[in-house]
Amino acid sequence: EAQVTQNPRYLITVTGKKLTVTCSQNMNHEYMSWYRQDPGLGLRQIYYSMNVEVTDKGDVPEGYKVSRKEKRNFPLILESPSPNQTSLYFCASSSPGRGDYGYTFGSGTRLTVV
Amino acid sequence: AQTVTQSQPEMSVQEAETVTLSCTYDTSENNYYLFWYKQPPSRQMILVIRQEAYKQQNATENRFSVNFQKAAKSFSLKISDSQLGDTAMYFCACGATNKLIFGTGTLLAVQP
């Protein structure tokens, strides 16, 4: 089954404790993105990657890091999480070769930073 | 900068009736796509319908159709014969593969 897999689904952590949210896709998509969803703000792009070793900032990159060492994986790293990073996070992938059919999303990660 | 505006934070519709969700956007791109995504309580993001901006014909997927007015930069979603399973948050999005800009969402409640 074609899918984007995010882990964990839920995470509660303390301020300053480094964490990684993993994302993997099995569709051989070139493009991958991370979004955060907050009430009243919709989804905002954090980082995106157009291929292996090619990443760029989205609209809200502060406090986050990403890497794209393999085509299928695109982890999101919070080096020193703060309470304002409490949010619902989505990983998504897409392929321009398919006429831009939009993103396939993961199931989301609910992160709480206390 | 691209923007997407959904001016209806919440809407309600009776089962079997028709409802229209509004969306306006602004972009300087010549080639772009428009999407409606559904987010039920399970929080999964599900693609409902897509529209290629260079196509004048409005997209249709079963009970879902759009009214795309390119000059007005408007992209509304019409849901016909509403069903209880249509209860969800609906997001309008505009952009291309590497960057989609989302609106703030419309929470639709289908009443029995």
Q: Give the three-state DSSP class for B87.
A: coil
- When CB atoms are compared, the residue of B33, B45, B47 closest to A90 is B45
Q: Which residues in chain A touch residue B96, judged by CB atoms under 8 angstroms apart?
A: 96, 100
Q: What was the pLDDT predicted at A100?
A: 60
pLDDT at residue B81, as a whole number: 97
Q: Does A47 touch chain B (CB under 8 A)?
A: no
Could you tell me which chain A residue has the CA closest to the CA of B105? A42
pLDDT in tens, A33-89: 999 999 999 999 999 999 999 999 999 999 999 999 999 999 999 999 999 999 999
* pLDDT at residue A96, rounded to an integer: 72
Q: Tokens for A48?
A: 């995106």
Query: How high does pLDDT run on average in chain A?
Result: 93
Q: Is the pLDDT of residue A99 over 70?
A: no
Q: Provide the strand spans (E) within chain B.
A: 3-5, 10-14, 19-21, 24-26, 33-39, 46-52, 60-61, 64-69, 74-79, 88-96, 99-102, 106-111
The pLDDT value given to residue B84 = 97
Predicted confidence (pLDDT) at residue A102 exceeds the cutoff of 80? no
- A42 sits in which H/E element: strand A42-51
What distance in Å separates residue B102's CA from the closest CA in chain A? 6
Q: Best of A30, A33, A105, A111 to disrupt the B interface by mutation (most B CBs within 10 Å)?
A: A105
Query: In the prediction, which pLDDT does B85 show?
Result: 96
Query: How are beta strands B88-96 and B74-79 bridged, if at all?
Result: unpaired
For residue A8, cis peptide bond before it (omega within 30 degrees of 0): yes
Task: Spell out which residues of chain B touch residue A50, defining contact as CB-CB under 8 Å.
Answer: 98
pLDDT at residue A72 in the model: 97
Contact B96 A100 (CB under 8 A): yes
**Coil/strand/helix, residue A21:** strand
Q: How far is A16 from chain B (nearest CA, A)?
A: 27
Task: Answer yes or no: is pLDDT of A10 > 90.
Answer: yes
- Taking the C-alpha atoms of residue B90 and residue B100, their distance in angstroms, rounded to an integer, is 15
Specify the residue for token string 């896709």: A25
Measured between CB atoms, does B96 come within 8 Å of chain A?
yes
User: Average pLDDT of each block of 10 consecutive residues along chain B (112 residues)?
Assistant: 93 98 92 93 94 90 96 96 97 85 96 96
Query: Cβ B91–A42 below 8 Å, yes or no?
Result: yes
pLDDT of residue B88: 98
How would residue A97 be classed by pLDDT, with cut points 50, 70 and 90?
low
With beta carbons under 8 A apart, name residues in chain B contacting A44. Answer: 102
> Distance between CA atoms of A107 and A7, rounded to whole angstroms?
9
Give the whole-number percent of chain A exceeding pLDDT 90.
89
